[in-house]
Amino acid sequence: MKGTTAAVVGSALVGVVSAQVGNGVVQWNIQKKHKPADPLGLRKRASTYEEVIQNEQIRGGYFTTCKMGTPAQDLTLQLDTGSSDIWVPDSDASVCTSTKNGGCSFGSFDPSNSATFNIVGKNKFDISYVDGSFAKGDYFTDVFEIGGASLTNMTMGLGNKTDIAYGLVGVGYALNEAIVADEQSTSAAYPNLPVNMVDEGLINTVAYSLWLNDLDASDGSILFGGIDTKKYVGDLTRIAIYPTQQGLYTSFLVAFTSLQAVSPSGTDTLTSRSFPIPVVLDSGTTLSYLPTDLAKQLWTEVGAAYSLEAGLALLPCSMQNSKGYFSFGFAGPDGPKINVTMDELVLDLTDGKAPVFSAGEYRGQDACAFGIQNFTSAPYLLGDTFLRSAYVVYDLVNNQVGIAATDFNSTESNIVPFPSMSAEIPSATVAPNQQQATAKPSATQPGYAASSGFTDGAATSSNQKNAAPGMTAARSFSLSSSFVKMRVIRAVATLHSGRAVAARHGVRHFGLASRVAVAALTVDTPSPRWTASQLGSRRHFSETPFARAAVSAADAALKQAKELAAANMTPEAAAARMTPAELKRLSQVRNIGIAAHIDSGKTTVTERILFYTGRVKAIHEVRGRDGVGAKMDSMELERERGITIQSAATFTDWAKKENGVEETYHINLIDTPGHIDFTIEVERAMRVLDGAVMVLCAVSGVQSQTITVDRQMKRYSVPRVSFINKMDRMGANPFKVVEQINKKLKIAAAAIQIPIGSEKEFEGVVDLVEMRAIRNDGARGINLKISKEIPAEIKELAEQKRNELIEKLADVDDEIAELFLDEKTPTPLQIKAAIRRATIALKFTPVVMGSAIADKSIQPMLDAVCDYLPNPSDVPNMALDLSKGEAPVALIPYNSLPFVGLAFKLEENPYGQLTYMRVYQGSIKKGQYLFNSRSNKKIRIPRIVRMHSNEMEDVAEIGAGEICAVFGVDCASGDTFTDGHLPYGLSSMYVPDAVMSLSIKPKRSSDADAFSKAMNRFMREDPTFRLHVDEESEETIISGMGELHLEIYIERLRREYKVDCETGQPRVAYRETVTTRADFDFLLKRQSGGPGDYARVCGWVAPNERNAEENHFETQVVGGTIPDKYLASCGKGFHEACVKGPLLGHKVIGTELIVNDGATHVTDSSDHAFSLATQMAFRKAFESAGGVVLEPLMKTTITAPAEFQGNILMLMNKRGTIVDTEVGADDFTMVADCSLNAMFGFSTHLRAATQGKGEFSMEFSHYAAAPPHLQKELVAKYAKELEDKRTK
Ligand SMILES: Nc1nc2c(ncn2[C@@H]2O[C@H](COP(=O)(O)OP(=O)(O)OP(=O)(O)O)[C@@H](O)[C@H]2O)c(=O)[nH]1
Ligand SMILES: [Mg+2]
């Protein structure tokens, strides 16, 4: 069964793939409606596309005019957020040829008249809707135009058989396409309209805004790729879209959490057993559908009742004059509210004369449909009757909806495009407290206080006016005559094949969506981001090359976005301006970092690189017997301990030989430490490098820090070559490692080599691209023996792995996919080009292998670095234009452009302060002046050097795209330097927070000077190392990333500065926060003879839902009860109070303080008084706001031989929660979330429990409330300390 499905998916998509690539180059007719300023004349920027849509009341829904085919055929299609395919009726379909119902007056499509029409899925298109209507036929590709945007290769459905006389433009999630449900496979998805627009560079991200005008205006607009800030009033608020239980995003499902009826006579809070109610925002549905219990309350408020004849709740048409409205609340108590007035909720039933109530209390009045109807099961729908009042932005990348009240009267326009792929909705703030969306409101019945106000003024019968509130049960009526029903529901496509049947049987069945909706709403975490890699993994990324079609959309969109949003100037465009000499220079520069799990052999590999490139004359091992030590581990401590502590930079030239031609590549290389405590070193290396070599151990594969460095590489978009080291080790299994890279790191990877011999017999590799054997020869493997003879016993394996490589490439590269589909074998040149393209595009990593210790196969790895990693002009590097609100601008590694460089690392050496600099644009000469764009200082560069570990080499000039170090520059790590003409800044790197600290003091007081000098230096060099003096205890406290981190600095103090120190017990960096809201009204009134202090502040303290790590201050004072300048002092007071929490004196995080009222005194109020009053108010409110102590939880990974599993389990049980255990052939790995507190001295316990054979690593994960007993103990201890101090 499974096989057949797969085959079907395959054949469906073969067409799609070949159709996409078959047409060759596509030229886009990009119309820029909102062309940005273009200083360099080279920018290409994605724009926004707007289309007016018309409300067709009788047909139900909003329609838009589009063009399709070549020559273009005009069509009017319904716009639908509830489905995701574009489809049109075939002009041969009987619904169009029959004249019975007027045929297809909105237009149908004649494929025989389009030169660009191409069938890509014969009989694959099959969609049905909840009202039983359907369309079936072929999937095809053709030109499609909407709102001035033209897409030449749009996949669409052709309705050969359908009972709907017009087509649709579904703009929902691609995963909601009919093909996905029909094939029951997410990998069948194709890039639908919004994704394709991104793919084609027309817009920057998969998002659009939709606003429908009011009912009378009969039109609306859809704006792809942007928002129009003039089309809404009030705030635009972001709320989460909820995924299915499988974690997939398929519909615009949001949490509807409250409903109020408001009229001149009063306000009612309406209730439902179903709150929080999952609702789908669906522009393809005319009316809105809510749970019956809630709908009935709405009907009671407005005097509507259900008519069996009409199958709808009806009310008198005159109710459109009612003054009442309904206020819809979303995403919890503090979420956005949208008011829907009655004139939007009373709809004509026909386009002719309205039917009349023939009996009952409304007798003689015209009957209209009420805009809110009932459904009996989830998901409920908010259709056009709701959406007309809401301006909605659909962000399909961040899975958020931006919502605000529509500005019906707007005549102005201010379009703001999304700046880049995955950018959040512009000008929108996130709804606070969204996790409370899951809370059930208390269920009491409304008092119907608003009811009479709804009918006042609307000319309803006197009966109604006199009816007691809430009394509609007795209402009865019938209608005057039969009438043509308006088409009220089309709505949510029922994508399951079985669903149409269910719908026809009158069962409201929503398949996937309904099964998932309610449960999904109980998820209280923010929705995860929809990234290309997540999609890739869900879509069985590696199963088949056909899956490529599915992910290409996201991948291409990301790539495009990176090029466009990031730069608005492609590297190609930059290259086009360069001289051939410059291009040649750059094409031979590689800036690379070596990063990996601890001890995987980075430094050993680097040592070989330096040796083979002739940079060092002899190889010295890490902790080798010769006592010299590896070049890159130059610090004494590194050599002793055999670990890298500081990253070290070097440069070298590699003469790469290819087909007898030698080309010299200039490689700047940084060897980084693997231990997590020194993670900042990896972070800053990744910030400035263009590519990386990720080293893995052939036995251990992907380990905990591999995952950390993977994250860092992804954070800075660094392409990588993967090198499997230690092929000589027993149990080496490179293919298992390749699989782990694919699965655990979720990046497509394939071996481009296979080993010759294994373990001790490991001799070299077979190069799968050229199909040749490469072995090392001569002393220390200095020569390479290359042969076309592949050993017979691995020939078959080589063929197999080469095919796997090609298949993998077909997944990520169009050209190889095309060859693959045509069953052609790519040439080595084509394979190489594809590997390079895919690697630089971050879609793939080629895997090479060797053994550094045995001097095997390092040179082919260097070749791979040159072949597949980018040169500085291949990757977009961005600066922020400080004069334009930090708008991103591209930097071009062109020597003659103005200089821009980043100081990424500082180091003190005997000659003074050394500043490592990455030159992004322009060049510098010795003696030249540069500007520090942070401090605005002009400085002279007296000396430029290239670093070679701890040695340096003077140079007179350094070119664009290179790395160097400069002397005598006073700056901080992360400062940007320019030539003084460009107002640019470079975004700095991510610096993790410290998790532990200890008190420290020099043993001899005479060492105080040396101590402070050393501390200043360490802090300047290492942003993760911090020092402060505790006011109360007057102790000096140092804090950092872990025990080893601090231990190393203490040791360096001793060795390098000869300062011996006393240290206290390691302490955990606790945090404090509040858990609920607490109001305060605080009066500070002090009189002491002269001028006193007077300040009154009112407001509240609450958790900061926007950011659990940051504090937020806000003023909501109306009427100027506190003047602005004092409000600023309140803010200052609050932030000061957060430095030292009330519970432990540790930092307060994730807290907000709002001031909304207060009072001043003519003479006694001052900045000081308000700051103080706020601090005191905060401290007082902290307790009632449920103040808690937070402790850091550490993600701890322990690896040990399998026999110790029991011991480790016992050790860990006491310390944390075990998250994962993986048992390998010989050893096992356990991952646990542990309290840092419990982990001090853990290495000793681990050693004892595993006879010294266990290893562990620890990384900060998040803050969580400390156990109550510990909190109590800590708070009591702190209180006692304070008390002791007071009484001292
Ligand atoms: N068997 C084997 N051992 C190796 C190989 N390469 C390195 N080692 C050993 O692995 C240990 C760690 O090597 P390093 O080069 O210091 O590893 P590293 O990745 O630089 O370590 P950190 O910088 O501390 O993260 C040393 O004992 C090396 O001798 C190899 O190819 N095979
Ligand atoms: Mg090392």
pLDDT in tens, 405-438: 988 888 888 888 888 888 899 999 988 888 776 6
What is the residue-averaged pLDDT of the chain? 81
Query: Residue 122 C-alpha to ligand 1 middle, in angstroms?
Result: 57
Alpha-carbon gap, residue 743 to 723, rounded angstroms: 17
Give CA angle at 1153 (1151, 1156), nearest 5°: 160
Kindly give the distance from the C-alpha atom of residue 652 to the centroid of ligand 1, in angstroms, as a whole number: 21
Average pLDDT over residues 132-157: 88
Which residue, 254, 246, 242, 83, is CA-closest to 173?
Answer: 83
Ligand with minimal distance to 634 CA: 2
Asked if residue 1271 has pLDDT above 60, the reply is yes
> Is residue 1171 pLDDT above 80, yes or no?
yes
Give per-residue pLDDT as tens, 570-624: 445 555 666 778 888 889 999 999 999 999 999 999 999 999 999 999 999 887 7
Quick one: which atom of ligand 1 is closest to the CA of 856?
31
Q: What is the pLDDT of residue 528?
A: 26
Most ligand 1 atoms within 8 A of CB, residue of 603, 619, 639, 704 to mutate: 603
pLDDT at res. 704 = 85
Better-scored residue on pLDDT, 46 or 115:
115
Maximum alpha-carbon separation in the chain: 107
Contact in structure between 713 and 692 (CB atoms under 8 Å):
yes
Whole-Å CA distances, 876 to 566, 715, 869, 872: 7, 14, 14, 8
Distance 384 CA to ligand 2 centre (A): 62
Confidence of residue 477 (pLDDT cuts 50, 70, 90): low
Angstrom CA distances, 408 to 318, 412, 564, 1039, 1278, stand at: 21, 11, 34, 56, 58
Ligand number, closest to the Cα atom of 697: 1
Give the model's pLDDT for residue 821: 85
Q: Identify which of 634, 696, 853 to mutate to test ligand 1's pocket (most ligand atoms within 8 A of the CB).
A: 853
Q: Is 623 exposed, middle or buried (0-12, 13-18, 19+ CB in 10 A)?
A: middle
d(CA 938, CA 456): 74
Active-site annotation, residues: 80, 282
Residue 796 alpha carbon to ligand 1 centre in Å: 32
Q: Which atom of ligand 1 is nearest to the CA of 725?
A: 31
Q: Are 723 and 693 in contact (CB under 8 A)?
A: yes
- What length does the chain have? 1288
Please give the distance, rounded to the nearest whole angstrom, from the Cα atom of residue 623 to the centre of ligand 1.
10
**Considering only CA atoms, which residue is closest to atom 13 of ligand 1?**
601
Distance from residue 617's CA to the centre of ligand 2 (Å): 20
**pLDDT at position 856, please?**
96
| Structure confidence at residue 1237 (pLDDT) | 83
State the Cα–Cα distance between residues 888 and 882, nearest whole angstrom.
9
Pocket of ligand 1 (CB under 6 A): 596, 598-604, 621-622, 642-644, 673-675, 725-726, 728-729, 851-853
Banded pLDDT at 445 (limits 50, 70, 90): confident
On the question of pLDDT at 627 being above 60, the answer is: yes
**Index of the ligand 1 atom closest to the CA of residue 705:** 25
Q: In the sheet that 753-756 helps form, which strands lie side by side, from edge to edge?
A: 753-756, 764-767, 772-777, 783-787
Spatial separation of the C-alpha atoms in residues 523 and 168, rounded to whole Å: 33
The pLDDT score that the predictor gives to residue 444 is 66
What is the mean predicted confidence (pLDDT) over 1162-1191? 92
Q: pLDDT-based confidence at 52, cuts 50/70/90? A: low
Over 80: is that where the pLDDT of 147 sits? no
Q: Which atom of ligand 1 is nearest to the CA of 642?
A: 16
Protein residues within 5 Å, CB atom, of ion ligand 2: 602-603, 644
Q: Which ligand is nearest to the CA of 621?
A: 1
Weakest mean pLDDT among 243-257, 261-275, 1264-1278: 243-257
Q: Tell me, what's the pLDDT at 378?
A: 65
Task: Return the residue whose CA atom lies nearest to atom 30 of ligand 1.
Answer: 726
| Mean pLDDT calculated for residue range 925-938 | 89
Q: Best-predicted range by mean pLDDT among 446-450, 798-802, 897-901?
A: 798-802
Distance 1182 CA to ligand 1 centre (A): 51
Crossing angle of helices 1167-1184 and 1124-1139, rounded to 10°: 50
Position 457 scores a pLDDT of 63
Top-ranked range on mean pLDDT: pick from 357-361, 500-504, 674-678: 674-678
Annotated binding-site members for GTP: 596-603, 671-675, 725-728
**Per-residue pLDDT band at 459 (split at 50, 70, 90):** low
Helix (H, G, I), strand (E, B), or coil: what is residue 68?
strand
Residue 1031 scores a pLDDT above 80: no
Provide the 10 A C-beta neighbour count for residue 154: 23
Element (H, E) at 811: helix 792-812
Looking at residue 68, its pLDDT comes to: 94
> Once rounded to an integer, what is the mean pLDDT over residues 979-991?
83
> pLDDT confidence of 566, banded at 50, 70, 90?
very low
**Residue of 749, 693, 682, 750 whose CA lies nearest to 721:** 693
In this structure, which residue's CA is closest to atom 11 in ligand 1? 599
Confidence of residue 286 (pLDDT cuts 50, 70, 90): confident
One-letter amino acid at 1108 equals: A
Residue type, 1279: A
The residue whose CA has the least distance to atom 2 of ligand 1 is 726
The average pLDDT across 756-783 equals: 94
Per-residue pLDDT at 47:
64
**From 599, 633, 637, 699, mutation site for ligand 1 pocket: most ligand atoms within 8 A of C-beta:** 599
Taken in order 1164, 1167, 1172, 1175, is the CA torsion positive or negative? positive
CA-CA distance, 1094 to 1096, in Å (whole number)? 7
Whose CA is closest to 1042, among 992, 991, 995?
Answer: 995
SS3 1075: coil
Ligand 1, atom nearest to 852 Cα:
31
Query: Using CA positions, which residue lies closest to atom 12 of ligand 1?
Result: 599
Whether 485 has a pLDDT exceeding 70, the answer reads no
- Indicate which residue's Cα is closest to atom 24 of ligand 1: 643
* Residues 1203-1228 pLDDT 10s: 888 888 888 887 888 888 888 777 88
Cα 643 to averaged position of ligand 2 atoms, centre (Å): 5
User: What does residue 1198 show for φ and ψ, rounded to 5 degrees?
Assistant: -120, 135
Give the strand pairing for 996-1002 and 62-68. unpaired
Site to probe by mutation for ligand 1, drawn from 604, 606, 643, 730 as the one with most ligand atoms within 8 Å of Cβ, is: 604
Q: Which atom of ligand 1 is nearest to the CA of 597?
A: 25
Least confident segment among 28-42, 600-614, 1087-1101: 28-42
Residues of each annotated binding site? 596-603, 671-675, 725-728
pLDDT at 831 over 60: yes
Q: Which ligand is nearest to the CA of 673?
A: 1
pLDDT of residue 419: 87
Higher pLDDT, 457 or 305: 305
Spatial distance between the Cα atoms of 1112 and 1122, rounded to a whole number of angstroms: 19
**Sorting pLDDT into bands at 50, 70 and 90, what band is 892?**
confident
Model confidence at 131, pLDDT cuts 50, 70, 90, reads low
Predicted pLDDT of residue 126:
86
Least confidently predicted of 526-530, 616-620, 1277-1281: 526-530
Q: Is the pLDDT of residue 473 over 50?
A: no
| Protein residue with its CA nearest to atom 9 in ligand 1 | 601
Residue nearest to atom 6 of ligand 1 (CA): 601
Residue 854 CA: nearest ligand 1 atom is: 31
Smallest-distance ligand from the CA of 705: 1
